[in-house]
């Protein structure tokens, strides 16, 4: 993130946070231990455009705002906010100021889906629900297997078809 205050970037990131909250809270399939949705996309875009720290902070803010404005069950658990922050950081590390190649996109998605979502989120759920980590894994693995190609494809296509045009227009 640039050291100087940039209102345009702040507005763009804020809009993407709002889109993340809407996609996560209203356009997702939620069951007790799995959420399938598209809230990852605005955060991946922030990571591509503004870097790891901006994406991490944005996703953490989106997680907290979503929980406060539209609670979906249990109380606040900081582990999920940490997961959100790390997800944004990973997208930024892999995709900020670098060519948006399929191997980079796949690498980011694999780390997010397998290490962060499958690893950390399953740990948080086992703590919250009092269930064994291993007992939660089969359903969580199925979600990861489903989401890896979905996220990879959507991030790649959205970058090439939408974000590149948006960046050109916003720089004009």
CA–CA gap between residue 152 and residue 112 (Å, rounded): 11
**Segments of the chain assigned E as strands:** 29-31, 34-36
pLDDT at residue 90, rounded to an integer: 98
Nearest to 35 by CA among 130, 125, 134: 125
Task: Say if pTM beats, i.e. exceeds, 0.85.
Answer: yes
Please list, residue by residue across 23-39, b when 16 or more beta carbons sit within 10 angstroms of its beta carbon and e when fewer do: bbbeeeeeeebbbebbb
At residue 171, the 3 state secondary structure works out as: helix
Q: Which CATH class is domain 7-160?
A: mainly alpha
Q: For 84-108, what is the mean pLDDT?
A: 95
The per-residue pLDDT of the chain, averaged, comes to: 88
CA–CA gap between residue 37 and residue 18 (Å, rounded): 15
pLDDT at residue 169, rounded to an integer: 60
Kindly state the tokens that stand for 136: 């939660």
């Amino acid at each position: 993130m640039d050291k100087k205050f940039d209102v345009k970037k702040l507005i763009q990131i804020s809009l993407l946070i709002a889109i993340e909250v809407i996609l996560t809270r209203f356009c997702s399939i939620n069951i007790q231990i799995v959420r399938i949705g598209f809230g990852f996309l605005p955060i991946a875009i922030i990571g591509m455009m503004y870097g790891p720290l901006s994406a991490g902070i944005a996703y953490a803010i989106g997680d907290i705002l979503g929980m406060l404005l539209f609670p979906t069950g249990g109380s606040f658990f900081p582990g999920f906010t940490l997961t959100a922050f790390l997800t944004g950081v990973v997208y930024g590390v892999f995709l900020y100021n670098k060519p948006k190649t399929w191997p980079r996109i796949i690498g980011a998605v694999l780390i997010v889906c397998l290490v962060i979502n499958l690893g950390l989120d399953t740990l948080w759920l086992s703590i919250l629900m009092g269930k064994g980590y291993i007992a939660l894994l089969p359903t969580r693995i199925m979600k990861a297997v489903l989401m890896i190609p979905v996220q990879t494809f959507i991030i790649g296509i959205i970058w090439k078809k939408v974000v590149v045009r948006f960046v050109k227009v916003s720089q004009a």
